[in-house]
Amino acid sequence: EDKVVQSPLSLVVHEGDTVTLNCSYEVTNFRSLLWYKQEKKAPTFLFMLTSSGIEKKSGRLSSILDKKELFSILNITATQTGDSAVYLCAVLGNEKLTFGTGTRLTIIP
Amino acid sequence: NAGVMQNPRHLVRRRGQEARLRCSPMKGHSHVYWYRQLPEEGLKFMVYLQKENIIDESGMPKERFSAEFPKEGPSILRIQQVVRGDSAAYFCASSPQGNYEQYFGPGTRLTVT
């Protein structure tokens, strides 16, 4: 059965800190890995990673995939209170997404 | 370009009633996916549809649940004879093709009393 594990489950940091969120996976027919941000509504798409070692960047967020070790990290630098959310990692295989349970990030002002 | 639309946003049903959840994909998207999120749990895949076809329903409970995506109109997730355990947030996602990034709607929060 496909499996996605995220760590830590929750994280509380002060505004301005840098955080690293982890995602490991075991999926048959791996196509790509996706990161989403979920506040109290729909998951919002952040990144889709298909190739190993190529960093994707969007403002203060960046992510990279290691297909050999089967994991990805999401980095957020200079965190702001608006970054508080649940960050979901999902792996696309056989045309469906398998999600981890998420990392709940809380930024303290 | 409007995003994925779902309605209703909140739905309350008594045990034994039927629930119908609707999803209109983004313009130009012909692939629709339904996911369920139980309280304090991750999103779980239920079903994947293209127009008039169910491609993968491996995540759907065998009884009481059905889904369709007709040639015209939104995709419908139907839950018959709802039970308390069906209370959850149901999210729809769409993509322009298979194995592509999926965009999510705002979800329907179903409460069974």
**Which pLDDT tens digit goes with each residue over A70-84?**
999 999 999 999 999
Highest mean pLDDT among A49-53, B15-19, B49-53: B15-19
Decide the pairing of beta strands A103-108 and A10-14: parallel
The amino acid occupying position A3 is K
pLDDT of the residue at A2: 87
Mean pLDDT of A30-34: 93
| Cβ neighbours around A45 below 10 Å, total | 15
Residue from the list B42, B48, B98 with its beta carbon closest to the beta carbon of A100: B42
Q: Residues of A near B (CB-CB distance < 8 A)?
A: 31-32, 34, 36, 41-45, 48, 88, 90, 92, 94-102
Residue given tokens 């007709």 in the structure block: B70
Mean pLDDT of B71-86: 96
Residue given tokens 């069974």 in the structure block: B112
How far apart CA B28 and CA A72 sit, in angstroms, is 30
- Whether the per-residue pLDDT at B1 is higher than 60: the answer is no
Least confident window among B12-16, B38-42, B78-82: B38-42
pLDDT of the residue at B17: 98
Mean pLDDT of B75-97: 96
Residues of A in contact with B56 (CB under 8 A): 94-96
Query: Higher pLDDT residue, B38 or A75?
Result: A75
Residue from the list A36, A42, A102 with its beta carbon closest to the beta carbon of B107: A42
Q: What is the mean pLDDT of chain B?
A: 93
Decide the pairing of beta strands B108-112 and B10-13: parallel
Mean pLDDT of B43-47: 94
Instruction: Place A29 in a pLDDT band, splitting at 50, 70 and 90.
Output: confident
H or E segment to which residue A58 belongs: strand A56-58
How many CB pairs lie under 8 A apart between chains A and B?
54
pLDDT of the residue at B41: 81
The amino acid occupying position B87 is S
Q: What is the mean pLDDT of chain A?
A: 94
Tell if the CB–CB gap between B43 and A97 is shorter than 8 Å.
yes
Mean pLDDT of B44-49: 95
- Whether the per-residue pLDDT at B63 is higher than 70: the answer is yes
Residue given tokens 């009633």 in the structure block: B17
pLDDT of the residue at B33: 96
Mean pLDDT of B23-44: 91
Instruction: Place B5 in a pLDDT band, splitting at 50, 70 and 90.
Output: very high
